[in-house]
Amino acid sequence: MKRVLLFSLFTAAAWTHPGEVRSYAVHPFAKFKNLASGANTASITASAPTPLECFQVAEPVLTPLGATRRDTSQPPALAPADQKPIEAAADSAGASSPCAVVLMEHTFANSYGAPFVGNYTPPKCDFDHVVINFTTLVRGRQFDRTGVMYLGDAEVWRTSTAEPTSYGIRWEWLKDMTAFQSLWKQPQTLVFDLENIVDNTYTGLLNTTLTATFFQAAGKSKVNGGRYHPADLIIPISQHLGAAGKPSQFVYPAQQATDTVEDFPRNANRAVFTVDVKGQGNEEFWWSNVPQSAAHAFDATYGEYPGYSPFREVQVLVDGHLAGVSWPFPVIYTGGVVPQLNRPIVGIQAFDISEHEIDISPFLPLLCDGEPHTFEIKIVGLDDDGKSAAVLSTTTDDEWYVTGKIFVWLDDERSVTTGTLGALDPTPPIITLSQHLTQNATGANETIEYSLFVSRKLSITSHVKTQNDQGAVTWSQWLTYSNKGGVFNFGDDNLNSFYISGADAATGPSTTYATSYAYPLFSNSTADVSPQGNLTLWAQLDQGLHVEVSGDAVFPTGLEGFVATGIVSAKDAIRGSVLSTWRNGTANYYRPGDNSYSIGAGRTHQVFSFGAVNPSGPATQLYHRDVSAYNDTITADHVKVAGRGVTG
Ligand X SMILES: *[C@@H]1O[C@H](CO)[C@@H](O)[C@H](O)[C@H]1NC(C)=O
Q: Which residues contact ligand X (rule: CB under 6 A)?
A: 68, 107, 133, 135, 137, 139, 168, 172, 174, 205, 207, 209, 211, 294, 296-297, 299-301, 437, 440-445, 490, 495, 520, 522, 524, 526, 530, 532, 534, 542, 544, 582, 584, 592-594, 601, 631
What is the closest distance, in whole angstroms, from the C-beta atom of residue 458 to ligand X in the complex? Answer: 29
What is the closest distance, in whole angstroms, from the C-beta atom of residue 384 to ligand X in the complex? Answer: 11
* Side chain identity, residue 538: W
Residue 88 has what DSSP assignment? B
What is the closest distance, in whole angstroms, from the C-beta atom of residue 637 to ligand X in the complex? Answer: 16
Q: Which is nearer to ligand X, 115 or 544 (CB)?
A: 544
Q: Which is nearer to ligand X, 256 or 532 (CB)?
A: 532
Q: Which is nearer to ligand X, 410 or 629 (CB)?
A: 629
Question: Nearest CA to 97 among 67, 60, 125, 68?
Answer: 125
Q: Which is nearer to ligand X, 324 or 544 (CB)?
A: 544
C-alpha distances out from residue 220 to 79, 409, 533, Å: 16, 22, 61
- The phi and psi torsions of 179 (rounded to 5 degrees) equal -60, -25
HEC assignment per residue over 271-332: EEEEEEEEECHHHCCHHHCCCHHHCCCCCCCCCCCCCCCCCCEEEEEECCEEEEEECCCCCC
Residue 22 has what DSSP assignment? P
Q: For the chain, how far is it from start to end, CA to CA, in angstroms?
A: 36
Q: Which is nearer to ligand X, 119 or 442 (CB)?
A: 442
- C-alpha 256/C-alpha 253 separation (Å) is 6
What is the closest distance, in whole angstroms, from the C-beta atom of residue 596 to ligand X in the complex? Answer: 7
C-alpha distances out from residue 535 to 231, 335, 435, 540, 600, Å: 52, 17, 29, 17, 11
Classified as helix, coil or strand, 235 is strand
Between strands 52-53 and 169-176, the pairing is parallel
What is the closest distance, in whole angstroms, from the C-beta atom of residue 107 to ligand X in the complex? Answer: 4
Q: Which is nearer to ligand X, 293 or 403 (CB)?
A: 293
Q: Which is nearer to ligand X, 496 or 550 (CB)?
A: 496
Establish how many alpha carbons lie within 13 A of residue 4's alpha carbon, considering only the half-sphere containing its beta carbon.
27
- C-alpha 238/C-alpha 248 separation (Å) is 5
- C-alpha 189/C-alpha 212 separation (Å) is 15
Q: Which is nearer to ligand X, 93 or 441 (CB)?
A: 441
Between strands 576-591 and 313-318, the pairing is unpaired
What is the closest distance, in whole angstroms, from the C-beta atom of residue 447 to ligand X in the complex? Answer: 11
What is the closest distance, in whole angstroms, from the C-beta atom of residue 443 to ligand X in the complex? Answer: 5
What is the closest distance, in whole angstroms, from the C-beta atom of residue 168 to ligand X in the complex? Answer: 5
Point out which residues pair with 255 in neighbouring strands. Answer: none
Q: Which is nearer to ligand X, 552 or 560 (CB)?
A: 560
Point out which residues pair with 384 in neighbouring strands. Answer: 390
* Side chain identity, residue 573: A
Q: Which is nearer to ligand X, 112 or 430 (CB)?
A: 112
What is the closest distance, in whole angstroms, from the C-beta atom of residue 65 to ligand X in the complex? Answer: 7
Q: Which is nearer to ligand X, 44 or 601 (CB)?
A: 601
Q: Note the Cα 419 to chain centre separation in Å.
A: 36
What is the closest distance, in whole angstroms, from the C-beta atom of residue 525 to ligand X in the complex? Answer: 8
- C-alpha 128/C-alpha 75 separation (Å) is 26
What is the closest distance, in whole angstroms, from the C-beta atom of residue 258 to ligand X in the complex? Answer: 33
Q: Which is nearer to ligand X, 70 or 158 (CB)?
A: 70
Q: Which is nearer to ligand X, 7 or 513 (CB)?
A: 7
What is the closest distance, in whole angstroms, from the C-beta atom of residue 534 to ligand X in the complex? Answer: 4
**Burial label, 41 (beta-carbon count in 10 A; 0-12, 13-18, 19+):** exposed
What is the closest distance, in whole angstroms, from the C-beta atom of residue 204 to ligand X in the complex? Answer: 8
Question: Nearest CA to 67 among 42, 85, 81, 52?
Answer: 85
- C-alpha 192/C-alpha 642 separation (Å) is 36
What is the closest distance, in whole angstroms, from the C-beta atom of residue 536 to ligand X in the complex? Answer: 8
What is the closest distance, in whole angstroms, from the C-beta atom of residue 133 to ligand X in the complex? Answer: 4
Point out which residues pair with 352 in neighbouring strands. Answer: none
Q: Note the Cα 389 to chain centre separation in Å.
A: 31
Q: Which is nearer to ligand X, 198 or 458 (CB)?
A: 198
**CB atoms closer than 10 angstroms to residue 263:** 10
The per-residue DSSP string of 44-85 comes to PPPPPSSPEEPB-----EEETTEEE-SSTTS-SB-S-TTPPP
- C-alpha 452/C-alpha 327 separation (Å) is 14
Q: Which is nearer to ligand X, 257 or 535 (CB)?
A: 535
